[in-house]
Amino acid sequence: MSDHITEESNFSETKEKEKEKEKQKEQDEAEDEELRKLLLSDVQNLPSTPPSAVESNFAIYFALDFMKPRHDQYVYRHANGLCVIGLAPSHVAFKDEGGITAIDFNVGKSDRSGVKVTGKRKKNAQHFESNTALCKVSTKNDSYIVRCCVKGSLLEVNQQLIKQPELLNASADREGYIAIIMPKPADWLKIKASLVSFEEYKKLREVS
Amino acid sequence: MVRQDGYQFDSFSLEVSIPPLILQNEASLWSYMQSKYGSEPWFREKIHTGCVSIKDALKFSLINPLEKLLDCKSSLCPFRIRLTYTHTKASEGVAKCSDNGGSCKRRKTGESDSIGEGTLSSSVEDESFDFSKLFPKSENEPCNFSYNCSRTPFYFGGRYLKYSRNVSQTRWIIDDERMGEASVEEIIGIKVLQACGGDNYKFHAAGREDIDVRMLGPGRPFILEVQNTRLVPTEQFANDIEKMINKEENKLVRVNNLKLVGSDGWNLMREGEGEKQKQYAALVWTSRPLKDEDFQQVSSLKDLKVAQRTPIRVLHRRSPLEREKIIHWMKMETVAGSSQYFLLHLCTQAGTYIKEFVHGDLGRTHPSIGSILGCRAEILQLDVTDIKMECFLT
């Protein structure tokens, strides 16, 4: 008789637990629904091609005919002051057959790819002028010097290029960037005057 | 004065500070007695049973009248009353101490009184200095007296949600201009401060998100420290404040599970902060349409190791390092019937830069969504959907 009673009370206990589990599950599902609605709340009117990360986060400038005709380079400047330097699509090196085949950071007095910059204060960073050589890119028959364009501290060069110089041909404007430079605010203002905007660049070089 | 400021309290703790001159006199008297009666048995007995210092005697005599005046008992509690007695005549002993090069270690900037006390008491321990040489000075001028009272800080713990993409976590001002329209710490802090009449607050959170990233799901743990409250916060008080914050019209921020926490709150929050996993939902665009195989490939990657060089957007203030982070799992779902837009759910190790994992940061984060799918990928919006920590969940 007593066994029967404990069995019954056990049974009603598990029923209670099941009800609670059901309730919890419903609550969780309701919360998930709420969350999904929030996640998708701004999903109307998506553009077919959104702006790229570079377009959204950097101000894009170009240095045309830098020290030599058709030596065009880009300068992407972030709101925090850092400048990414690279080859513009209209650079003369891309006109050579086969494009760029090699890159060498050992120019001027040091190998730019060897310097280790450390710490928040960017110790050991070399200070360069805007016409200091950054590297040399070579094509089948020729080679061209790439320069800093911006006076400042050299924080890093793109090491990937040493192993994969073809990045320069495929995406010079992104993964094929050459270096990152940190100019002082006063030095930036001085050089900015000689750079052109993206719009002006498109007009001057007749690029679409 | 206590009522003037509107302090609410049910007990107080008394602190007394007396001028160095009195301490000096006391010390020289002791020295003298020691040298004269040191060998006497009754003197040695007295030392063993303990003697009451002048400071303690003053405290004892003040406590009872204060208790009667304020109508409550004194005990060790957060509400402190400090009575400071100062004297214009600087202590002669202090000058002598510094000449002897006595252990003047406890120098504090600011109040000269504490310097005096500090050097004096450490010199008293330095037995080589013979105080009996200093005759007790009799003074006819009374002391100056000042008082103040304050409360030790209270701590509130809870979780916050951020629904706006234009609200920063902490106050963010560049060149006198505020970034964003508000900050989480001000929205919560100002309400709490006003409600319990504190002097100021400090906001501490378990990690942070960008101004344009929403904080959803159960929310991010935080602790709000409030200094010198006039009222004593209770559990009910915390509940009321939580309701008040959540009732705000513009619904920028929400607070859950707000309650008073003790010192254990800190441990809960800081413990394993770097190991805890975070979950996100990102709206991603790809430069080519995606197929089922792409979705499956992404879902199949478990505990993916990602090498992230310091993102360019923080490189100006962080060390240039390569940090290895783990993406525990990923799941993609299509949105708005598009073949190039999708919602990417991912669970990552604490400290992973999600935006850079999507667009690759010019190849400085590898692998990235773009490199995995063999195309260009951009991130349009990011939401934090879960912070997997145990604290402040109820």
pLDDT (0 to 100) of residue B137: 56
Residue B213: band (very low, low, confident or very high) from pLDDT cuts 50, 70, 90? very high
For residues B276 and B389, what is the distance between their CA atoms, to the nearest angstrom? Answer: 6
Neighbours of A131 (CB within 10 A): 12
Question: What residues of chain B, 349 to 388, have a C-beta less than 8 Å from chain A?
Answer: 355, 359-363, 376, 378-381, 383, 385
Tell me which chain A residues have a C-beta less than 8 angstroms from the C-beta of B355: 53
- Which residues numbered 112-171 in B keep a CB inside 8 Å of some CB on A? 163
Pick the residue of B162, B341, B362, B394 with the most A CBs within 10 A to test the interface with A by mutation: B362
- Does the beta carbon of A50 lie under 8 angstroms from any beta carbon of chain B? yes
Among the options B175, B210, B240, B264, which is catalytic? Answer: B210
What would the pLDDT profile of B214-251 be if each residue is shown by its tens digit? 999 999 999 999 988 888 888 899 999 999 999 987 88
Among B84-88, B265-269, B387-391, the least confident range: B84-88
Query: Two tokens at A94?
Result: 């891309």
- Average pLDDT on B302-322 reads 94
**Nearest by CB to B363, which of A80, A117, A175?**
A175
Mean pLDDT of chain B: 80
Q: List residues bridging with B73 in a β-sheet.
A: B11
Residue A12 contacts B, CB cutoff 8 Å: no
* Domain topology for A53-205: OB fold (Dihydrolipoamide Acetyltransferase, E2P) (2.40.50)
- Which of the two residues, A4 and B364, has the higher pLDDT score? B364
How far away is chain A from the Cα of B71, in angstroms, using its nearest Cα? 51
pLDDT, position B390: 85
Which residues, given as ranges, of chain A have pLDDT below 50?
Answer: none
Long-range contacts formed by B243-247: CB under 8 A, 24+ apart? B244/B191, B244/B195, B245/B187, B245/B188, B245/B191
For the segment B364-385, the average pLDDT, to the nearest whole number, is 95
Residue B160, classified by CB atoms within 10 Å of its CB into exposed (0-12), middle (13-18) or buried (19+), is buried
What does the pLDDT average to over B121-139? 48
Interface with chain A: mutation pick from B251, B287, B312, highest number of A CBs within 10 Å: B312
Quickly state the pLDDT bin for B115 (edges 50, 70, 90): very low
pLDDT computed for residue A9 by the predictor: 66
pTM: 0.78
> How many Å lie between the alpha carbon of B203 and the closest alpha carbon of chain A?
25
Question: What confidence score (pLDDT) does residue A7 get?
Answer: 67
Q: How far is CA B224 from CA B115, B227, B274, in A?
A: 33, 10, 20
What's residue B354's pLDDT? 97
pLDDT value at residue B202: 94
Tell me: the pLDDT tens digits for A85-135?
999 999 999 999 889 999 999 998 888 888 888 888 888 889 999 999 999
Alpha carbon of A119: minimum distance to chain B alpha carbons (Å) = 4
pLDDT band at B97 (very low <50, low <70, confident <90, very high): very low
* Complex ipTM: 0.86
Confidence of residue B128 (pLDDT cuts 50, 70, 90): very low
